[in-house]
Structure 1
């Protein structure tokens, strides 16, 4: 066994881990990183990036199909088809470019990368099972960035027709019948994309509505879109298991009725959980917060010089949160004074239409004891939205009624994910409605809806 020493060792090459390693390297901290699979983690390889590529391809295909009839834009096409194998090659090309880029950034920062499975010996010692000869690394600081994994349902184990998001993103053929278990953002993003590609899609959800993590006003336009697409919803229903022939899913309604949905594939999208198994984490006896590793505002665990970042630390499990945590930890190790106390962490649901939230909702603001001032601006009054034939949805602002300080933003509509930066800028800088209303926004853009929402909250919107 080879023996090596370093100041910082990072376990996990996903967004949280590779950012921690790159930033530490930039700051002159001797750094090593170990990754069992491909650099980039779930997000770059089998999550955020490939799913958005597939969603884009599905949207483009759906648009092409819509032009085969009477298009209000005057576009006519004779027919549209899709070669899903070629689509997958294009998607993998994007993934390859990004993962190759991460490797180059790590090299530039002077980070030594090991491909192999890590096993923790103690808080300063990690064994790595690499291809040629095992390596034991002694470190001063250990950063745990092992990410998360899909939740598997006891009665729907992965295998055969039962797939997770990873397999759904790699399909070489569009299934005739797809049943999605779970109406959260993962299930709906993939379900809508595969419906646009031609699959008959049914969604099974145990609660009374889709996107239960978001308030109903925001999810209502998504529900309308699902109905237009012909996605069948089975709300207040539970998945009981496959049929004996494995060609259907048995579901049970809240009224105890049981029936079968035909299914070539059953996509289980029941959420994710921190990845805590497989690398001897239990040997450290760290304080836990449920399944997640418990950390403080500097991402320190209960063991000195052992840090945890990203999905391993629990909700919200978002790549950009993990990146921010990883950067902070690297700077603390290098001697900076930092704390992870963001005012807001934006969350985006890439359904059709998209949905974005940052800060407090009206209900959350009221529950915190603040009297909220709430205003909306519809995209049907926005010139850019109308010119893109995408007038569905709105922007909503939540502010304090007494001093107009902005507490939260929400939006649903075409391309609203790109508004998240403006939302978070105003929240982090403690902006008031007057600040946003007084900024000159470019015309015609969707961003004008942000200004108009602030204006409407102040009682003098210009275009509605």
Structure 2
């Protein structure tokens, strides 16, 4: 027997975009149902952002212990040989995920949002059937938000299964492999590859293009490339993965010569694509192009009353973009006037060192003719030196005509924590003189932002 339900708003997908949309809608008094089949929090909380950062933190701690045991800690710390209970590490990581997912569930309850755990399959644009552990439901909604997220891209030569895994499986291993081959030197592959290397795994990275992190400029990626060498990671650029057999990944080099990379496990991280299948999208009469749902600046699709947010509408596939869109759409459904038109969306790569990109690069801004650029190395920052993290820099880009800041980039330890300051400056229309005139706490990494603004005003050179 199927239970019929009616609701003003149906949200499909419980990831960052979906649950934020549902919570905000509930807070605004909108009768809302959230349907999710993958666990509250979606890929980000359950299988991506949060568990990967937990693993990265553990790996960094372990690397520090190893340095102390090997007598290579620069501050003179010494310790015995470290060991690791990987089962406990996994339990700690899973505990964080559970605690955050429970928090999302609590927020949904307080907002009076009904949560159905199951897959929604649409028969038309605003009607779907959901099979749950409580039984089957048919939901008729006045408005629908599609927040179905994305899924990893599978290479034909490396289908997932057996010894080939996506980032999802890599974050749920029961034991560490001895040799790991990472296919794809984008941010996901390098974040996890570096983490596993710090944990003592022999790591190789195979990348089809001629450099790592090809979406970032070379100045930002060079400190990361040097870090790969320090961590003992073998890097194979302009190379193509051909297939995996027991204990080895077959690779074709830049010159066409085949060779093998030791690999008990292969982590394939060549990208993600919008998740368009499995929920009856074809019955919704929604326009799709280039593998993504088309929307306008209010996240409206071609079907009246149907919205789409987050990864399913394409790049940038970032949780914080989805969250902002989810909140906006909930307010539109409530009758507010909103549109999605941010000046910038920050992108963070949690490698070692970290990379932050906000706004325009020097080249995109037309430097040197149309833009001023100021760069300050962390080698000149007292806090970075006390952290034993002198690699990297902060770079500020501003329009030459009026000194308005249009871009900030940084690479270095903990620079992800500076992203809010960078975004705030650009969204508030700050000029170089505004940041240069602010008093920044000393000693902090944030001083480099101040110094970079001063450098741009003085022709691009740091004062040190």
The answer to whether the 8 Å contact 2:372/2:457 transfers is no
Aligned residue among 186, 189, 194 for 1:187: 189
Task: Give the 5 Å matches for 1:52-451.
Answer: 52-68=53-69, 69-243=71-245, 246-366=246-366, 371-451=370-450
Q: CA deviation at 1:254?
A: 2.5
Q: CA deviation at 1:370?
A: 7.2
The answer to whether the 8 Å contact 2:167/2:268 transfers is yes
Q: Distance in 2 between matches of 1:264 and 1:125?
A: 46
SS in 2 for 1:67: helix
Q: Distance in 1 between matches of 2:244 and 2:143?
A: 47
Q: Distance in 2 between matches of 1:304 and 1:213?
A: 35
Assess, with a 3 A threshold, how the Cα gap between structure 1 residues 172 and 463 changes in structure 2: closer, same or farther.
farther
Q: CA deviation at 1:391?
A: 1.2
User: What is the CA RMSD across the aligned residues, in angstroms?
Assistant: 1.3
The answer to whether the 8 Å contact 2:394/2:452 transfers is yes
Say how many residue pairs are matched: 461
Q: CA deviation at 1:285?
A: 2.7
Which 4+ runs in 1 deviate beyond 2 A?
Answer: 460-463
Q: Distance in 2 between matches of 1:278 and 1:408?
A: 39
In structure 1, what is the equivalent of residue 8 of structure 2?
7
The answer to whether the 8 Å contact 1:148/1:272 transfers is yes
Q: CA deviation at 1:364?
A: 1.3
Q: CA deviation at 1:286?
A: 1.5
Q: CA deviation at 1:462?
A: 7.2
The answer to whether the 8 Å contact 1:247/1:262 transfers is yes
The answer to whether the 8 Å contact 1:11/1:35 transfers is yes
Q: CA deviation at 1:345?
A: 0.2
Q: CA deviation at 1:435?
A: 0.6
Q: Distance in 2 between matches of 1:279 and 1:381?
A: 54
Q: Distance in 2 between matches of 1:194 and 1:384?
A: 27
Q: Distance in 1 between matches of 2:260 and 2:119?
A: 42
SS in 1 for 2:135: coil
Q: Distance in 1 between matches of 2:65 and 2:300?
A: 51
The answer to whether the 8 Å contact 1:184/1:269 transfers is yes
Q: CA deviation at 1:402?
A: 1.4
Q: CA deviation at 1:289?
A: 2.9
Q: CA deviation at 1:71?
A: 2.8
Q: Distance in 2 between matches of 1:108 and 1:131?
A: 22
Q: Distance in 2 between matches of 1:27 and 1:95?
A: 27
In structure 1, what is the equivalent of residue 32 of structure 2?
31
Q: Distance in 1 between matches of 2:274 and 2:210?
A: 27
SS in 2 for 1:192: helix
Unmatched tracts of structure 2, length 5 or more: none
Q: CA deviation at 1:463?
A: 4.5
Q: Distance in 2 between matches of 1:382 and 1:70?
A: 23
TM-score by length of structure 2 reads 0.98
Post-superposition CA distance 1:336-391 (Å, at most 9, x none): 10010000000000000000000001111129x97111110011111111111111
Unmatched tracts of structure 1, length 5 or more: none
